[in-house]
Amino acid sequence: MPGRREAQAAVARRRAQHFALYRNEDEPDQQDELHVGGSEARTLGPWSSARQLAEGRGAAAAAREAKILESARAAKAAAADAAALEWQPRRDPTLGPRPGARVASLVAICVDLVVAHLVDVDTLWGMPDVIKARLSAAAAGARKLTPAALALFTDGEPSELVLSECSQLEPAVLAPALANASGEQLERLELGMCGRGFGDDTAATLAGVGPLPVLRSLRLGGAYRLTDAGLAPLLRRAPMLEALALPQCSRLDGAFLVALPGSLRALDLAECRGVGKDALLAALAQAPNVAELALDGNPEVDDAALAAIAQACPHLRRLSVANCAGVGEAGLAAAARALPSLTALVADDCGRAGDAALLALAEACPRLEEVSLRRCARVGDAGMAALAAGCALRRLRLPGCHMLGAAAVLPLAGPRGVHLEELDVSWCRGIPEEALGRLVDACPALTCLTLFGCSQVTGRFLHGHASEHLRVIGAQAQKAPALSAARAVLAA
What does the pLDDT look like over 87-99, one tens digit per residue? 999 898 998 888 8
Gap between the Cα atoms of 296 and 269, Å rounded: 7
Banded pLDDT at 81 (limits 50, 70, 90): low
Centre a 10 Å sphere on the Cβ of residue 30 and count the other Cβ atoms it contains: 10
**pLDDT for the residue 480:** 41
Of 288, 318, 335, the residue that ends a domain is 288
Q: What is the average pLDDT value for the chain, to the nearest integer?
A: 86
202 and 276, same domain (yes or no)? yes
**Does 342 reside within a domain?**
no
Banded pLDDT at 71 (limits 50, 70, 90): low
**Does 262 reside within a domain?**
yes
**pLDDT for the residue 217:** 97
Of 288, 303, 333, the residue that ends a domain is 288
Higher pLDDT, 73 or 159: 159
**pLDDT for the residue 52:** 75
**Does 393 reside within a domain?**
no
148 and 235, same domain (yes or no)? yes
15 and 143, same domain (yes or no)? no
49 and 114, same domain (yes or no)? no
Banded pLDDT at 111 (limits 50, 70, 90): very high
Banded pLDDT at 491 (limits 50, 70, 90): very low
**pLDDT for the residue 1:** 58
122 and 248, same domain (yes or no)? yes
19 and 159, same domain (yes or no)? no
Summarize the confidence of residues 312-341 as an average pLDDT: 95
Banded pLDDT at 15 (limits 50, 70, 90): confident
What does the pLDDT look like over 443-489, one tens digit per residue? 999 999 999 999 999 999 999 998 989 999 998 754 444 434 434 43
46 and 114, same domain (yes or no)? no
User: Per residue in 350-389, is it b (16+ CB within 10 Å) or e — as a string?
Assistant: bebbbbbbbbbbbebbeebbbbbbbbbebbbbebbbbbbe
131 and 259, same domain (yes or no)? yes
Summarize the confidence of residues 391-404 as an average pLDDT: 94
Number of folded domains that form the chain:
2
259 and 128, same domain (yes or no)? yes
Summarize the confidence of residues 429-434 as an average pLDDT: 94
318 pLDDT above the threshold of 50: yes
**Does 174 reside within a domain?**
yes
279 and 204, same domain (yes or no)? yes
Closest CA to 464 of 480, 453, 485: 480
What does the pLDDT look like over 262-286, one tens digit per residue? 899 999 999 999 999 999 999 998 8
**Does 391 reside within a domain?**
no
Gap between the Cα atoms of 178 and 150, Å rounded: 10
Banded pLDDT at 101 (limits 50, 70, 90): low
Gap between the Cα atoms of 204 and 146, Å rounded: 23
47 and 112, same domain (yes or no)? no
Higher pLDDT, 364 or 29: 364
Whichever domain contains 131, its CATH number is 3.80.10.10
What does the pLDDT look like over 127-156, one tens digit per residue? 888 888 889 889 988 888 888 899 999 988
Structural domain boundaries enclosing 44? 2-56
**Does 433 reside within a domain?**
no
pLDDT above 90 covers a percentage of the chain that reads 61
Higher pLDDT, 17 or 35: 17
100 pLDDT above the threshold of 90: no
